[in-house]
Amino acid sequence: MARQLDEQIVGRYPVGQRLRVLDVGMGQGTQALRLARAGHQVTGLERDATMVAAAREALSAEPEGIRERMRIIEGDGRDTGVHFLPGSFDVVLCHGVLMYVEEPDPLLAGLARMLAPGGLLSLLVRNADALAMRPGLAGDWAGALGAFDTTAYRNRLGLDVRADRLSTLTATLAGIGAPLQAWYGVRVFTDTAADDAGTPEDMEALLACEERAGRTDPYRGVAALLHLCGVRG
């Protein structure tokens, strides 16, 4: 997904331009820190105190120049209007958040307002059109049958959450003035794979396969996750 995001940034902004980035639901700050290291000015917004503490600890280990380019705010992504003025950011990330939000439309509308004209909105969501894949590949036929006609599922943490359909999000993005420009699949082949990819050569081969599949039909349509990129008009 990082490669996909970089592709969108490089294709939209001049090389070397320092962007204003907002990472909503940043977790432990993996993407936020990566972009700060790349020279961008990054704001991370996270409501979970444990994740905030982990992100701050990771940031404290970075060189001073990177620490100065990143700030962390404890808060809810649905309250971006409380913290920031409209049009304050060139890039807004919302990765792995929508599945925990029962009504995502107000959140997405608020994120779109944070974007400057031409700004990039990057979403990572669970793919509701492929919910039957994981139980089906595991031989859980009852679970697979039950997954075809729902957007609800139980994640690996044991939480009951929700997935999003590409068609629904495409319509939503158009409605909030940040129409979909590109979309990718994420975890096409690796959703049920072991965490240990083996040798570095194995990892490179895995990433090459995933990157190719994530931009190629019909593979991307059955990915566990979807990466959607909208652009503010």
Token pair, residue 30, equals: 């993996």
What mean pLDDT value characterizes the chain? 95
**Which residue in this structure is represented by tokens 């190629």?**
216
Q: Could you tell me if 65 and 95 are in contact, meaning their C-beta atoms sit under 8 angstroms apart?
A: no
Residues 6+ apart with CB under 8 A from 3: 207, 211
| Percent of the residues in the chain that have a pLDDT greater than 70, as a whole number | 99
| Reduced 3-state DSSP string for 169-184 | HHHHHHHCCCCEEEEE
What is the pTM (predicted TM-score) of this model?
0.95
Residue 221 has pLDDT above 70, yes or no: yes
Q: Could you tell me if 184 and 220 are in contact, meaning their C-beta atoms sit under 8 angstroms apart?
A: yes
Q: Which residues pair with 91 in a beta bridge?
A: 21, 120
pLDDT at residue number 197:
63
pLDDT digits (tens, 9 = 90+) for 68-103: 999 999 999 999 999 999 999 999 999 999 999 999
Residue 29 has pLDDT above 90, yes or no: yes
Residues 6+ apart with CB under 8 A from 160: 152, 153, 154
Letter string b/e over residues 69-107, b meaning 16 or more CB atoms within 10 A of that residue's CB: bbebeeeebbebeeebeeebbbbbbbbbbbbebeebeeb
**Measured distance CA(226)–CA(179) in Å, rounded:** 16
Average pLDDT of 164-183?
Answer: 98
Residues 6+ apart with CB under 8 A from 36: 42, 62, 66, 69, 70
DSSP string computed for 112-133: HHHEEEEEEEEEEEEBGGGTTH
pLDDT digits (tens, 9 = 90+) for 142-159: 999 999 999 999 998 899
**Measured distance CA(77)–CA(49) in Å, rounded:** 14
pLDDT at residue number 190:
92
Average pLDDT of 126-136?
Answer: 97
pLDDT at residue number 199:
87
Token pair, residue 122, equals: 């990057």
